[in-house]
A = this chain, B = another copy of it.
Amino acid sequence: MSMFITRKTDYAIRCILYLSKDLDRIATVEEISKAVHVPKTFMAKILQQLMKAGIAGSVRGIKGGFQLARNPEDINLLEVIEAIQGPSAANICALDKKACSLSGTCAVHTVWVELREEVNSRLKSWDFGKLTDRENRLSHRAKCDKR
């Protein structure tokens, strides 16, 4: 039903969130995929895309695996989305510029542009430092509720 965030992107986010928990550790695809409940081969593909975007780094060979290539605070939601779904994921309008401006004067297009700008700046403001903090607070609260 045409969502903004695909499953793949969601997996990528969970993966980064997982890697944020221990920055020194080198985690294998197997480990990550189990932790975030994602098929191993699919997770591998996602990690490769994150590498190309300079978000994750890898160590090859036995004892190899993945790590974040930067600090969680320096990775934001917008770039993760773009790394996985492509840069045009931020384009809200379905059509390319030619088709959109076929009437010459597309009033709606300007609305999409404004909206995209707002959404992008909000996504950019969420880095994985903040997200991890928030997650920790939430899980702490959940624990307290249980008792």
Q: A87 to chain B: closest CB distance in Å? A: 9
* B89 & A142 in contact (Cβ 8 Å cutoff): no
Verify A1–B139 contact, CB threshold 8 A.
no
Q: How far is the CA of A135 from the CA of B121 in the complex (A)?
A: 26
B contact residues around A37 at 8 Å (CB): 102
A134 touching B122, Cβ below 8 Å = no
Within 8 A of B (CB), among A1-39: 1-7, 9-10, 13-14, 17, 37
Find out whether the CB atom of A92 lies under 8 angstroms from the CB atom of B4.
Answer: yes
Q: Does A110 contact B (CB under 8 A)?
A: yes
Most buried by B among A1, A107, A108: A107
Q: Smallest distance from the beta carbon of A12 to chain B beta carbons, Å? A: 11
Choice from B86, B95, B104, B122 contacting A118 with Cβ under 8 Å? B122
Report yes or no: B7 in contact with A85, Cβ–Cβ below 8 A: no
| A binding-site residues for B, Cβ under 8 Å | 1-7, 9-10, 13-14, 17, 37, 77, 85-86, 88-89, 91-95, 102-108, 110-112, 114-115, 118-119, 122-123, 126, 131-132, 134-135, 138-139, 142
Q: List 21 A-B contacts (CB under 8 A).
A: A1-B85, A1-B86, A2-B6, A2-B85, A2-B89, A3-B89, A3-B93, A4-B4, A4-B92, A10-B94, A10-B95, A10-B108, A17-B107, A77-B111, A104-B139, A105-B138, A105-B142, A106-B135, A110-B134, A110-B138, A118-B119
